[in-house]
Structure 1
Amino acid sequence: MLTISVSNVSAVSAPNSLDYDRLRPVRIWLYVLALGVLLMVLVGGATRLTESGLSITSWKPVSGIIPPLTDADWAAEFEAYRQIPQYQQEFAGWMGVEEFKLIFWWEWLHRFLGRMLGFVFAIPFAIFLVQKRIPKSLLLPLAGLFVLGGFQGVLGWWMVSSGLSELTSVSQYRLAVHLAAACILLMALVWVARSLERPIAAARHASKGWGLAIWGLVGLLFVQIVAGAFVAGLDAGSSHNTWPLMEGALVPDGLFGLEPLWRNLFEDVMTVQFNHRIIAYLLTAYIAVLWWWGRAHPGYQGVHGWMPRIAIITLLQVALGIATLLTVVNIPLALGHQALAFMLIAMVIAYLADMKRVSEW
């Protein structure tokens, strides 16, 4: 599946009009944005795990950047929170203003980081336009990234609003959409940034079949990240906290107990956690096969050095997932597990982008 190129590939020898030295600040900017998205995912995970996501009950894209400054402001925010089911059913017996502040700050920080990412995108973009650093071919992709980033804010409020009237937490469906969109944004940022690196000369390049196999890995990882969102949305990690068995069996009794059958994939706690485990096993086996095949045909040099790193990170991710389960969702472990999932899929995208710089397949 991996083949050897003994001379520069056509992508390298062909004339290229891009000034890669001049594009260096643009690449750095895109990497910073990707790190910002990863930080947003981490803070969003902490917001969810601390049950802070519903603490701000209104969406004020501009004025919301200013937190409560006086006792009267805090009293008004707390009073608004007291009207929703989460407070009334879970926290009414013990939560006062001081306890409310602890969860408020997590949600405020999450929204604040989102607003700052908007500035980190818009201001350098305007500067680069004035400096004429951005080629015309990149304007449309960057505009798409900006729209996708802004849409994340809309999706975030759409998610939060699902928990303000009837539910005591956000809808797991809307959480999954919000997390999936963040994943797509991260992948797009990494792809565009890596694509602006210099072409790679005289390196081993991939057959079309190998490239498709790696794209298949991206698909599996994306499905697993979405499946993890449903685990988080249903708090499914807090039940069946044994491994490798569930309820004393590899395949526990009680799976797929809801009607119609499709609801079990998204609403049944046991089935959702079981599916997340099974996808993890499939992913691990798939990556092991890719690693073994690539090792034999003909090894990991050049851009294909990504594959052993992906395999190692996968093993670490499996260990973190098991530890998170066995500790009944220890928050630092759970956040590490979520962050590593996003890092892993970003690494695979970087691998694909680097292969693209060597060969057009």
Structure 2
Amino acid sequence: MTSFLRSDRSRPVAVWLFAVAALVLAMVVVGGATRLTGSGLSITEWKPISGVLPPMSDAAWAAEFARYRQIPQYAEVNRGMSLAAFQSIYWWEWAHRLLGRLLGAAFLAPFIYFLVRRQLPNRLIWRCAALFVLGGLQGVVGWWMVASGLADRVSVAPERLMVHLGLAFALFAALIWTGLDAWAGGVRQSAPSRWTRYAGVLLAMVYLQVLLGALVAGNDAGFAYNDWPLMNGAFWPADYAGAGLWATIAHSQAAVQLHHRLWAYALVIAALVSAVGAARSRYLATETKALAIAVGAAVLLQALLGIATLMMAAPIGMAIAHQLAAALLVALAVAFAWRARRP
């Protein structure tokens, strides 16, 4: 009968979840490259099934190019683009969407296998099902984001990009947390400690900084105000305010970059204070101390990388590295918050 009992932990399930998290990380990197190369609007239709195949003939390519020539981005940014140039941006977006489909398969097939084999801990079944739904929702949100750039804009709406990237990072964080639970089992502290709260607040601060960075990316604000620590020679940029509150928060290049900078300073201070406090604590486990110090170091390095990327006017390689480092920082912050909840 024991063969039919589900264990509280499963290392194979943990490895699977970590592998899916790595695929999400790849999606984030490819998505960043797709945005930076201006490729995100090259596919103007959403075909979840038939869209897995790229154009297979000259006529099919001509039809795709004709649809692209109907949107504002072509008319206002890429007018006169050759078919070969269109194909180069098309492949980025197609690869991004294909990776999303592969990600869904990489989650669903093992999920069913582990369920049938009764290797998935009972406490994680509904959580994993929720992760699959969140992944599917991410596909819908991705198209909602793309649709914002097909009619009245030459790029996607920054707030929709923020939602899309925010969901990706939420899925990434949840996969890592659930993978750690599957690896180590469900033991946790009976009551939250001071460090549990600190680690949770730090994770929330890191996540908010990701969202603020998405608004910077969505407004192409990394190509402006490329001096530091001032912005065009001033601490508070003269053109900070937009036409209204939302226009300022979500659409002003000056505002979104200033917010990203100011929150980065707050995050660096919080992470370094946490790292120093953890290192001096006599009560924290060695693993928890190491993770707190790692988060502090990662935040500092990410801030320096962000400054360098800004001052170099966001070259593609540096911008992708900055986004990749953000994902690795989220992973460390998740691990720290998870470990702080355990005895």
TM over 0.5: yes
Provide the C-alpha distance between the structure 2 equivalents of 1:351 and 1:130, rounded to a whole number of angstroms.
33
Aligned residues of 1:205 and 1:355 also touching (Cα < 8 A): no
Q: Residues 218-237 of structure 1: matches in 2 within 5 Å?
A: 218-237=203-222
- Alignment of 1:83 with 2:75, yes or no, is no
Tell me the C-alpha RMSD between the 2 structures.
Answer: 2.1
Provide the C-alpha distance between the structure 1 equivalents of 2:279 and 2:338, rounded to a whole number of angstroms.
20
Provide the C-alpha distance between the structure 1 equivalents of 2:165 and 2:118, rounded to a whole number of angstroms.
34
Among 59, 80, 87, the residue aligned to 1:72? 59
For each residue in 1:153-181, what CA deviation from the matched residue of structure 2 results, as whole angstroms up to 9, or x when unmatched? 00000000000011000001110110111
Q: Residues 267-346 of structure 1: matches in 2 within 5 Å?
A: 267-298=251-282, 301-346=286-331
Number of residue pairs the alignment of both structures matches: 338
Letter in 2 for 1:276: H
Letter in 2 for 1:269: Q
Letter in 2 for 1:307: A
1:296 to partner: Cα distance = 1.9
Partner residue of 1:147? 133
Among 31, 51, 65, the residue aligned to 1:44? 31
- Alignment of 1:264 with 2:248, yes or no, is yes
- Alignment of 1:248 with 2:248, yes or no, is no
Among 87, 109, 120, the residue aligned to 2:106? 120
Provide the C-alpha distance between the structure 1 equivalents of 2:184 and 2:147, rounded to a whole number of angstroms.
45
Provide the C-alpha distance between the structure 1 equivalents of 2:14 and 2:204, rounded to a whole number of angstroms.
25
Partner residue of 1:4? none
Aligned residues of 2:199 and 2:340 also touching (Cα < 8 A): no
Partner residue of 1:197? 183
Q: State, as a whole percentage, how many aligned pairs show the same letter.
A: 43
1:329 to partner: Cα distance = 0.8
1:24 to partner: Cα distance = 1.3
Q: Given the two structures, how large is their TM-score scaled by the length of structure 1? A: 0.89
Partner residue of 2:193? 208
1:214 to partner: Cα distance = 1.1
Letter in 2 for 1:117: L
1:355 to partner: Cα distance = 2.8
Provide the C-alpha distance between the structure 1 equivalents of 2:47 and 2:151, rounded to a whole number of angstroms.
18
- Alignment of 1:111 with 2:100, yes or no, is no
Aligned residues of 1:159 and 1:171 also touching (Cα < 8 A): yes
Letter in 1 for 2:167: A
Unaligned runs of at least 5 residues, structure 2: none
Change (3 A) 1:200 1:26: closer
Unaligned runs of at least 5 residues, structure 1: 1-15
Aligned residues of 2:142 and 2:164 also touching (Cα < 8 A): yes
Q: Residues 85-100 of structure 1: matches in 2 within 5 Å?
A: 85-93=72-80, 95-100=81-86
- Alignment of 1:101 with 2:83, yes or no, is no
Task: Give the stretch that moved more between structures: 207-216 or 137-146.
Answer: 207-216
Provide the C-alpha distance between the structure 1 equivalents of 2:246 and 2:157, rounded to a whole number of angstroms.
17
**Which runs of at least 4 in structure 1 moved beyond 4 Å after TM superposition?**
204-207
For each residue in 1:248-274, what CA deviation from the matched residue of structure 2 results, as whole angstroms up to 9, or x when unmatched? 12333332x224334311111111111
Provide the C-alpha distance between the structure 2 equivalents of 1:207 and 1:147, rounded to a whole number of angstroms.
29
